[in-house]
């Protein structure tokens, strides 16, 4: 890690900045030279085929994994890195946890704790930060926000997939995050349950929270995204406003992907 890589211009309006990210699993280079700037209040949608690197990129942004090279700045502070005496080192776990606490993550498969009630799942983070009564009040308010106040005392396994994902969103919000990452949050849902999750996400976007969303839901991206990035084979192939990337893509690979997605949607609609 070179020192110059940490010398990135501070910008209070930029929540997250990635520079020259690379990530490899064995011989497979899954991310190559990724550069991103995400402003406060922006909704960035990541699109691309399976295996293009979207989930890996989100895991790096969440500090769930570390890049092999490159650097990520979150609120103008390097994620997972510290500088001392002119050299760059991995940050202590305590610092990484503090950074991670300001970043919410919503997984494909919900990842709720099955032995805890819905309310207890959402209470986990705020309970660590304050009194139990305050944590419960906050959790109930968040469940109401996602339309699930009446499910507070139920077990996650008794809920539909869409309801479980809405609980997962409430749990992510309980951290009071400056950024929420969504890893294809509707991919595990039956088609009739997708819209209830997208409605909650659309409402969140309208409140100005910064979001990065890996998704195959092109209508959501067209309606909600500030910018869209198309990834393929670990590269950002195309980046821009949604009307440019989704309606007038410049790259042949982007056009082929969007045509394939459209064809699949039409096939499902005809069934």
- Partners of 47 in beta bridges: 230
- Are residues 22 and 80 part of one domain? yes
Please, which pLDDT band fits residue 7 given cuts at 50, 70 and 90?
A: low
pLDDT at 2 over 60: no
End of a domain among 121, 155, 176?
176
Cα(3)–Cα(247) distance, integer angstroms? 40
Looking at residue 263, what is its pLDDT?
75
237-252 residue pLDDT tens: 999 999 999 999 999 9
Looking at residue 112, what is its pLDDT?
97
Looking at residue 270, what is its pLDDT?
47
Cα(236)–Cα(238) distance, integer angstroms? 6
Residue 214's domain comprises 3-102+177-270
Least confident of 33-47, 80-94, 116-130: 80-94
- Are residues 24 and 87 part of one domain? yes
- Are residues 159 and 187 part of one domain? no
SS3 (DSSP) at 211 = strand
CATH number at residue 77: 3.40.50.300
Looking at residue 81, what is its pLDDT?
87
Backbone angles phi, psi at 261, to 5 degrees: -60, -45
Residue 76 region, left (φ>0) first, then alpha (ψ -120 to 50), else beta? left
- DSSP-H helix ranges across the chain: 54-61, 93-100, 118-129, 132-145, 161-173, 191-206, 218-224, 242-247, 252-270
Does residue 108 form part of some domain?
Answer: no
- Are residues 133 and 56 part of one domain? no
157-213 residue pLDDT tens: 999 999 999 999 999 999 999 999 999 999 999 988 999 999 999 999 999 999 999
- Are residues 230 and 215 part of one domain? yes
Query: What is the 8-class DSSP label of residue 13?
Result: T
Does residue 65 form part of some domain?
Answer: yes
- Are residues 192 and 92 part of one domain? yes
- Are residues 182 and 84 part of one domain? yes
SS3 (DSSP) at 127 = helix
Chain center to CA of 29: 21
pLDDT at 3 over 50: no
End of a domain among 159, 176, 193?
176
Does residue 58 form part of some domain?
Answer: yes
Does residue 218 form part of some domain?
Answer: yes
Cα(77)–Cα(92) distance, integer angstroms? 14
- Are residues 263 and 138 part of one domain? no
Q: What is the DSSP annotation of 224-255?
A: H-SEEEEEETTEEEEEE-HHHHHHS-SSHHHH
Closest CA to 218 of 172, 264, 160: 264
Does residue 22 form part of some domain?
Answer: yes
Does residue 107 form part of some domain?
Answer: no
29-46 residue pLDDT tens: 999 999 999 999 999 999
Q: Which helix (H) or strand (E) holds 111?
A: none
- Are residues 170 and 44 part of one domain? no
Cα(110)–Cα(113) distance, integer angstroms? 9
- Are residues 188 and 93 part of one domain? yes
pLDDT at 267 over 80: no
Does residue 230 form part of some domain?
Answer: yes
Residue 201 region, left (φ>0) first, then alpha (ψ -120 to 50), else beta? alpha
Q: Residue 199 has which token pair?
A: 């409605």
User: How many domains does one find in the chain?
Assistant: 2
50-79 residue pLDDT tens: 999 999 999 999 999 999 999 999 998 899
Please, which pLDDT band fits residue 6 given cuts at 50, 70 and 90?
A: low
Residues of the chain above pLDDT 70, percent: 93
Average pLDDT for residues 124-131, to the nearest whole number?
83
Does residue 217 form part of some domain?
Answer: yes
Q: CB under 8 Å to 247, separation ≥6 — which residues?
A: 222
- Are residues 47 and 17 part of one domain? yes
Cα(163)–Cα(118) distance, integer angstroms? 10
For the chain, what is the mean pLDDT? Answer: 91
SS3 (DSSP) at 267 = helix
End of a domain among 135, 152, 176?
176
Cα(39)–Cα(61) distance, integer angstroms? 14
- Are residues 188 and 209 part of one domain? yes
């Amino acid at each position: 890690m070179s020192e110059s890589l940490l010398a990135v211009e501070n910008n209070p309006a930029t929540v997250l900045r990635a520079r020259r990210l690379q990530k490899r699993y064995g011989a497979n280079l899954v991310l190559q030279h990724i550069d991103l700037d995400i402003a406060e209040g922006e909704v960035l949608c990541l699109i691309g085929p399976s295996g293009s690197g979207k989930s890996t990129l989100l895991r790096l942004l969440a500090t769930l994994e570390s890049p092999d090279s490159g650097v990520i700045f979150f609120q103008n502070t390097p994620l997972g890195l510290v500088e001392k005496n002119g050299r760059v080192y991995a940050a202590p776990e305590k610092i990484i946890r503090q950074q991670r606490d300001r970043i919410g993550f919503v997984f494909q498969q919900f990842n709720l704790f099955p032995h805890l009630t819905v309310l207890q799942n959402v209470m986990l983070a705020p309970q660590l930060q304050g009194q139990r009564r305050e944590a419960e009040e906050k959790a109930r308010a968040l469940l109401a926000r996602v339309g699930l106040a009446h499910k507070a005392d139920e077990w996650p396994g008794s809920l539909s997939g869409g309801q479980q994902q809405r609980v997962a969103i409430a749990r992510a919000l309980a951290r009071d995050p400056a950024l929420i990452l969504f890893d294809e949050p509707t991919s595990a849902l039956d088609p009739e349950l997708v819209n209830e999750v997208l409605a909650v996400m659309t409402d969140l976007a309208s409140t100005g929270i910064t979001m990065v969303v890996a998704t195959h839901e092109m209508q959501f991206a067209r309606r909600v995204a500030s910018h869209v990035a198309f990834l393929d084979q670990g590269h950002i192939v195309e980046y821009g406003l949604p009307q440019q990337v989704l309606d007038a893509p410049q790259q042949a690979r982007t056009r082929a992907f969007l045509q394939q997605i459209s064809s699949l949607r039409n096939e499902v609609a005809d069934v």
